[in-house]
Amino acid sequence: EAEVAQSPRYKITEKSQAVAFWCDPISGHATLYWYRQILGQGPELLVQFQDESVVDDSQLPKDRFSAERLKGVDSTLKIQPAELGDSAMYLCASSYDRGNSPLHFGNGTRLTVT
């Protein structure tokens, strides 16, 4: 079964440093999502792409977070500068379309900011 690939699996960084996460969705999936999950809570949507366009970034802290999906395939989420409160699991998901097709998640990047 095809999977959503994410890297790195773990990342430790000092506060005020820049950090980036990469995601490669399932081939053919037009919709890509980035979620943040704090321990003990459900995933929180940060940004949603349809092909290369952002369709929802209302929950993305735009002063420090940015996301891109330049060719409508893989995507990068960046944080600059990182803060202690950014420590969380960052999950990428993709779906065939924006309708009812299920979300397929990667196994995430565990970020620790020290």
Partner 1 sequence: LAKTTQPISMDSYEGQEVNITCSHNNIATNDYITWYQQFPSQGPRFIIQGYKTKVTNEVASLFIPADRKSSTLSLPRVSLSDTAVYYCLVGGYYGNNRLAFGKGNQVVVIP
Q: Pattern of binders to partner 1 over 66-95, x per CB under 8 A?
A: -----------------------x-xxx--
Binding flag, residue 19, partner 1 (CB under 8 A)? no
Binding flag, residue 25, partner 1 (CB under 8 A)? no
Nearer Cβ to partner 1, position 27 or 41? 41
Binding flag, residue 42, partner 1 (CB under 8 A)? yes
Binding flag, residue 47, partner 1 (CB under 8 A)? no
Amino acid making up residue 49: F
